[in-house]
Chains A and B, each alone.
Chain A
Amino acid sequence: MTVRILAIDDSRTMRNLLGATLGAAGFEVDLAEDGEDGLNRFDRSDPDVVITDINMPRLDGFGFIEGARARRRHRVVPILVLTTESDDALKARARAAGASGWIVKPFDEKKLLWAIRRVSGQEDPA
């Protein structure tokens, strides 16, 4: 069964980049443009992993994580946050909000896949 990833970012360029990179790696990708859109898709399509940006209009990354964790359902979904900094304060904040891990921008395919592997029990996609 193909692994499904939900990627949330308000930048069209980022969404395209994530979609292309993850799609090429064999994942099924859903895209959302802000936290609220993300929660809607989260409910509808039940992703295996979520990757989300932090700064977004309407509902930001932390808001999304809070919402996702509140839903919980049958399992706690791994959520990775995208950040442009790698400082400890941000990591701590991400953890405190409930994120499973983080990816520092700019990322490449290897970095992306490595992070996904470390937080999800998933085998290689497809």
Chain B
Amino acid sequence: MIMQDKVFESTTPPLEVLAFRICEQDFCFDLDSVREIRGWTETTMLPHAQPCVKGVINLRGAVVPVIDLAQRLGLGTMEPGPRHVIIIAVLEDKTVGLLADVVSDILVISRDDIQPIPEIVDAATRRFISGVVVIEDRMIRKMDLRLALPAADRTAA
């Protein structure tokens, strides 16, 4: 009762997501988490890093790790190069870079559009996705960033 806000009529606000492609598959996650999109830059290797951690890059004075999502999702490896993009995202105070083939769209969807994961999505990818959205015959897998990023406190293998 003490610090209550005025009561509004509320409707579920629409959700903006960033859609991108990795190894011919479409993914997306909340635009809220995205800070910017950069072209590819060379990374500096990290000792004993997991295979999906490609290294670190200099983002305007901050040291940011770059995660190879294709590797992380088990979709195969690719040699990162100038063709690729790095999506800079923020999750719980940590800034990370996510390697993708290309960014396709910014889409506005509603939470009702998110459907449960169909059978055809393979087991490896399934672990990182929270649902799918179908837009014009494209099945876009909604990625849960928290699951997609490697656990922060696992010590190097």
Contacts and interface: CB of A to CB of B under 8 A. Distances in A.
Interface of A: 106, 108
Tell me whether chain A's interface is mostly helix, strand or loop, or mixed.
loop
Contacts of A106: 2
Interface of B: 1-4
Task: Please provide the 3 A-B residue pairs with the shortest distance between their CB atoms, ordered closest to farther.
Answer: A106-B2, A108-B2, A108-B1
Contacts of B2: 106, 108
Contacts of A108: 1-4
A16 to B, nearest CB: 12
A108 B5 CA distance: 10
5 contacts: A106-B2, A108-B1, A108-B2, A108-B3, A108-B4
A48 B2 CA distance: 26
B30 to A, nearest CB: 30
Nearest to B1: A108
A106 B1 CA distance: 10
Nearest to B3: A108
Contacts of B4: 108
A108 B4 CA distance: 8
Nearest to B2: A106
Contacts of B3: 108
B27 to A, nearest CB: 42
B5 to A, nearest CB: 10
Contacts of B1: 108
B2 to A, nearest CB: 5
A26 B21 CA distance: 50
Nearest to A106: B2
B141 to A, nearest CB: 43
Nearest to B4: A108
A105 B5 CA distance: 18
A30 to B, nearest CB: 23
A17 to B, nearest CB: 9
A108 B1 CA distance: 8
A90 to B, nearest CB: 21
A29 to B, nearest CB: 18
A113 to B, nearest CB: 13
Nearest to A17: B3
B1 to A, nearest CB: 7
A112 to B, nearest CB: 12
A105 to B, nearest CB: 10
Nearest to A108: B2
A24 B4 CA distance: 14
A114 to B, nearest CB: 15
A26 to B, nearest CB: 14
